[in-house]
Structure 1
Amino acid sequence: MNITRYINTTYLQMGLIYTGLFHSVWLFSTQFEIISGTVSWYLPAGVRLAAFLLLPLASWPLLLFSEKLTHFILFHPGGVLDNTAFLSGSVGWYLVHLFISPAVVCGCVYVFRRRFAAPYIDNVRSTLATLAFGVLISVALGAVFLGRRAIEVQTDLAAFLSILFDFSLGDFVGIIVLCPLLFALYTRQYINKNESTLFITVGTWLLTLVFSSYLYSQNINISYQIKYLAVFPALFLSYRYAVFGSALSCFFIGITAFVVASQSALPPIEHQFYILALCVSCLILGSSINQSSKLNKKLARNNEDLEIAVQNTQALAAKLVALQEDERKRLSRDLHDDFGHRIVDLKLQLSLIDTTKDHDILIDKIDALYQAMKKSLGGLRPSGIDTLPIESVIERSDIITTLKRAKINFSFNLSGTPINFKPEQKIHIYRIVQEAVTNSIKYANAKTLSIDISYESQSATFTVADDGAGIPDTIEGTVDAKPTLGLLSMKERAKLIDGTLDITSFTPSGTVVSLSIPTYNIQ
């Protein structure tokens, strides 16, 4: 076994600091009990629990050794304090103090640390668990210490339970006053920037306590008012500064209780429950605020990631649509320039030959081929899309031809002063109108249909309305709706030109598709 794992300079320093703080607050705690017996709390319990919860497991042997050695040095006969009341010579005392109580502390803390990690008070769950653990270890150590004494002096059960309650309550008060602040400081939960509000609040709180002590020296007792006025700064600090604020509040609540206890004759339990109730409230409030803040930050990060993903998706969609239209434009141009010229040339050559037996038939077939090619070109890229106004493109496009072929009673209405759209804007408008008309013919079984174009001062609106069967709920309009590829394409195209697409399905029948484009985007 490597002994340097447990005994080294770092752990020795930890042990010295721990035992120095432990016995300092122990001496301080004894002063509370001297003031008319009004306060009973054991601050070293808070130092001990914080040390074993925060420091490395390998440092525990030196912590225990330093604590026990210092205890013997202080209280042995002829020692610094020379108080045999804290150093019994019985075998039971040595057994409990040197073996059983350290085993209880180390065992309980080890189990707790396997489930929870520092700072222990940063969320509601860990805060409640830490408080419950503080109660448990206070009762466990009280049972060990007092059990030994009860066996030696044969104390009856009722008296033992009463003493155990007082002992455990005192330990838990010490834990709840000191542990949160030690947790916060050790894990660097403190404020990293200059917070004037924090200093003003704490300073005002301390000045109020000093003022209360001064008035008490002048036979004016306002301890009752001070006790309950302290609720406001305690809750404010917990709300404003979360973990650190609640930890600081617990510490100053303890100071407030000490000042109030020195000025009143209330029984100890009154002050103890005041400390516990207010400290628990502050710790839960502070951990709730801290937990909420972390969740909000996480949600904000997720929203940022989602926004980036949406932007990337939209950029990809825009790129795909642009590439698609560019490819259609290229194919349309190639077909027109190449095959169109070849067909015209073939027809010209045939016209020069009058002896061909099936001359007229071949001419008709070439004309049909040419018309089929023009139709294909119109599907790839509407004729005139680069030069004509969008309303003219729609009027002479396959959209109108398809409506006539489907024998649908349609109307085309134009109002306002037309606007000169860019070719890339016109192609998206055309595709949205084309998709809306196609859906009305293919799926809605519409009998009548209208295409309305309205130019106003602030916007241009393109509307396709029919009297068809409407859009099924499984496609549009419900929580679980799954839009088709056509509807998704319409919406994406509308976004690309900063337009707003509104699709309304009426009951019992009819659908209105409306595309509105702000005029500031039309140049």
Structure 2
Amino acid sequence: MQLSWLKKEFHLNLRIHPIGVVLAVLYALSYWIARGTSVDQFYLPAGVRVAALLLAPPRYWPYLIAGEYLFFAQARFPLIEKYGLAWVVIASAVLMPTVALIVHAHRRLMASNNESWLLSVAVLAALSVSLLNQGLAYLLMPTLHDAVSWTGVARYVIGDYLGILIFAPLALLWTRRHVAYVATRGWSFALPVSLGLIVLLGLAAMRLPESNAIAKHSLHLAMMFPAIALTCLYGWRGAAVSVVTLNLTIGLTLQSTGLPGSFDDTTFLSQQILAVTGTTLLLLGSTISHHYHRFKQRDRLGNRALDLARISHLASEQDMRERALHMKRISDDIDTSFSKAVEWLKERGHHAPAMDMLRSNLAHSLQFREQMSLVYPTEIEYSGLYVALRIGGIAEAWNATDRIARPLLAGDPCQLSLGLQLAAYRSLSDAVGLLLRSEHGYLQIRTRCGKRGDTRGIVMTIALLDPTRRLTRSTAAQAMELLGGRVLAYGGTVQCRRNRIRLTLIEMPVTYRVPSGLSTDQIMPPAVL
């Protein structure tokens, strides 16, 4: 009853999770195995500690602290008489909480696309743990004051840092496994080849005698080049995998007694260079991946804008289609009314006025249908773009100008989507209209539909028949402004060269779907071909 207020205020929950107990035992076992294969300059338990904190949710961190204390309890209990109870208890209890606080301080940075924060965690963890170990040894073990030195601190810092670079990048790779990254096309074989080359060079260096230190260090430096290649191709993922491979290849060849104080002077210089190189590679890889994700985000936004532009154009075409159908119904009603009036006049013997009315109605009905075809070319839905250009209202309008030669149409437009055919129709109509208004002389229209690889499209050229003439600057500027928006929405280009306008439209896949309302397929029904 006395502690009820405390539980109410602080929401204490002392329930022990079985998963947490298993996690603590596994962590203690992993720490013990890593400690047995480590030397001071290559301290794997430091990497196990950081990797466990990165992989486990914060609610399980107390179990990790308990697991590490469990290992130190069985490892340092026999040392109580030699070094004292204070050192065994305090030095074993402060390391994991300190690193946990460092990782927790970086939790906000972990949500970003830049993985350079991992180096900050590695540096701070290595410095903090090394200073705590040496400082507590100096304070709590007066008989070992001479063993504590800045040289030892530097050696432990490098060892902890290299150990962290072994396991922490792998843990981060696992947590970011769902984030997509595509390497340069055609270079998928680079990963196994580069990793294999790193291992071969490391094994070759291991076989050299200790007297040939220069050649051994040269091979260690040569291992950096495949790592650099992987970093450039795969970003921070390539850097993480290559740095881990470099550290393991060099570190596992070190001679270890499994006891504290194991050290290999011969390889220490190479490991110092490796620490600097690994840091540089991870920074470079993080920068590459950061800019890659920014590029992909901008690319997605650009594709979304193009999709929305195409959907907007198709919605406008659907509106004009409805207007054209409404105009057709009006035209049919007018024709029916004229037919009834003609029949009424014939029944009463007024054949001449009836025939005049019939001829007038036919002429006006033809003109009305031509204008209706210009509003929306229904022929495209049933016969394709080229039929609409040859027999539709636009063909009559072009023939009436007496300035346009017979169009040269090549390829099969029926292989293109209805949206692309409509965009080509509107672009061609606008370009011809612009040249008719702004330039003098005859025009020649050429189009070609085709396929290159998996890409389908159409190329249209509207040129002045006189090859010695050139388009004026004002005409070229108007063409870019008038045609650029629709052509860009379909992944094409507008080019004004010498005496011609050249348009290219490409079949673009829809990469963004409107979250609500009509889809592209619903806005514009497929053509009946």
Residue 137 of structure 1 corresponds to 125
Aligned match of 2:250 in 257, 260, 264? 257
Aligned ranges for residues 139-178 of structure 1 at < 5 Å?
Answer: 139-151=127-139, 164-178=153-167
| Unpaired segments ≥5 residues, structure 1 | 34-39, 353-362, 401-409, 518-522
Alpha carbons of 1:133 and 1:449: their partners in 2 closer, same or farther (altered >3 Å)? Answer: same
Residue 88 of structure 1 corresponds to 84
Aligned partner of residue 66 in structure 1, secondary structure: helix
Return the alpha-carbon distance in structure 1 between the equivalents of residues 308 and 494 of structure 2: 24
Aligned partner of residue 172 in structure 1, secondary structure: helix
Aligned match of 1:181 in 159, 167, 170? 170
Contact 2:173 2:237 in 1 (8 A): yes
Residue 338 of structure 1 corresponds to 337
Return the alpha-carbon distance in structure 2 between the equivalents of residues 457 and 65 of structure 1: 74
Contact 2:122 2:161 in 1 (8 A): yes
Residue 9 of structure 1 corresponds to 18
Return the alpha-carbon distance in structure 2 between the equivalents of residues 278 and 70 of structure 1: 33
Residue 478 of structure 2 corresponds to 476
Is it true that 1:68 corresponds to 2:69 in the alignment? yes
Residue 406 of structure 1 corresponds to none
Contact 1:415 1:454 in 2 (8 A): yes
Aligned ranges for residues 403-442 of structure 1 at < 5 Å?
Answer: 412=403, 414=405
Alpha carbons of 1:173 and 1:473: their partners in 2 closer, same or farther (altered >3 Å)? Answer: farther
Map Cα deviations across residues 178-220 of structure 1 (whole Å, 9 max, x no partner): 32134335665899xxx98755654554454444434428x66
**Residue 104 of structure 1, CA deviation:** 2.5
Alpha carbons of 1:345 and 1:197: their partners in 2 closer, same or farther (altered >3 Å)? Answer: same
Aligned ranges for residues 83-122 of structure 1 at < 5 Å?
Answer: 87-90=83-86, 94-98=89-93, 100-117=94-111
The one-letter code matched in structure 2 to 1:230 is M
Residue 54 of structure 1 corresponds to 55
Contact 1:261 1:271 in 2 (8 A): no
Residue 23 of structure 1 corresponds to 32
Is it true that 1:274 corresponds to 2:273 in the alignment? yes
Map Cα deviations across residues 103-133 of structure 1 (whole Å, 9 max, x no partner): 433322222224315xx9xx5x22x211012
TM-score, normalised via structure 1 length: 0.61
Contact 2:208 2:216 in 1 (8 A): no
Greater Cα shift, 15-24 or 228-237 = 228-237
**Residue 142 of structure 1, CA deviation:** 3.3
Contact 1:47 1:175 in 2 (8 A): yes
Aligned partner of residue 50 in structure 1, secondary structure: helix
Contact 2:227 2:239 in 1 (8 A): yes
Residue 524 of structure 2 corresponds to none
Return the alpha-carbon distance in structure 2 between the equivalents of residues 375 and 412 of structure 1: 24
**Residue 47 of structure 1, CA deviation:** 1.2
Residue 37 of structure 1 corresponds to none
Alpha carbons of 1:317 and 1:49: their partners in 2 closer, same or farther (altered >3 Å)? Answer: same
Return the alpha-carbon distance in structure 1 between the equivalents of residues 408 and 173 of structure 2: 70
Contact 2:102 2:125 in 1 (8 A): yes
Aligned partner of residue 21 in structure 1, secondary structure: helix
Map Cα deviations across residues 138-181 of structure 1 (whole Å, 9 max, x no partner): 2233333333344565999xx96665444433322221233213
The one-letter code matched in structure 1 to 2:227 is A
The one-letter code matched in structure 1 to 2:85 is G
**Residue 261 of structure 1, CA deviation:** 6.6
Return the alpha-carbon distance in structure 1 between the equivalents of residues 424 and 170 of structure 2: 65
Alpha carbons of 1:392 and 1:11: their partners in 2 closer, same or farther (altered >3 Å)? Answer: closer
Return the alpha-carbon distance in structure 1 between the equivalents of residues 153 and 201 of structure 2: 35
Return the alpha-carbon distance in structure 2 between the equivalents of residues 41 and 105 of structure 1: 18
Return the alpha-carbon distance in structure 2 between the equivalents of residues 503 and 103 of structure 1: 65
Map Cα deviations across residues 461-495 of structure 1 (whole Å, 9 max, x no partner): 87799x9x9997999356xx4779xx97xx89xx9
Return the alpha-carbon distance in structure 2 between the equivalents of residues 309 and 462 of structure 1: 28
Return the alpha-carbon distance in structure 1 between the equivalents of residues 176 and 435 of structure 2: 66
Over aligned residue pairs, what C-alpha RMSD do you find?
Answer: 6.1
Aligned match of 1:225 in 179, 203, 218? 218
| Unpaired segments ≥5 residues, structure 2 | 1-6, 181-187, 256-262, 380-386, 450-458, 506-528
**Residue 327 of structure 1, CA deviation:** 4.0
Higher Cα radius of gyration: 1
TM-score, normalised via structure 2 length: 0.60
Aligned partner of residue 216 in structure 1, secondary structure: coil
Contact 2:430 2:483 in 1 (8 A): no
Return the alpha-carbon distance in structure 1 between the equivalents of residues 224 and 504 of structure 2: 58
Residue 370 of structure 2 corresponds to 381
Return the alpha-carbon distance in structure 2 between the equivalents of residues 516 and 259 of structure 1: 59
The one-letter code matched in structure 2 to 1:147 is G
Return the alpha-carbon distance in structure 2 between the equivalents of residues 110 and 516 of structure 1: 54
Contact 1:177 1:251 in 2 (8 A): yes
**Residue 15 of structure 1, CA deviation:** 1.0
Contact 1:411 1:450 in 2 (8 A): no
The one-letter code matched in structure 1 to 2:126 is S
Aligned residues, how many? 446
Greater Cα shift, 410-419 or 287-296 = 410-419
Aligned partner of residue 76 in structure 1, secondary structure: helix
Alpha carbons of 1:72 and 1:116: their partners in 2 closer, same or farther (altered >3 Å)? Answer: same
Return the alpha-carbon distance in structure 1 between the equivalents of residues 30 and 344 of structure 2: 105
Greater Cα shift, 169-178 or 2-11 = 2-11
The one-letter code matched in structure 1 to 2:19 is T
Aligned partner of residue 476 in structure 1, secondary structure: helix
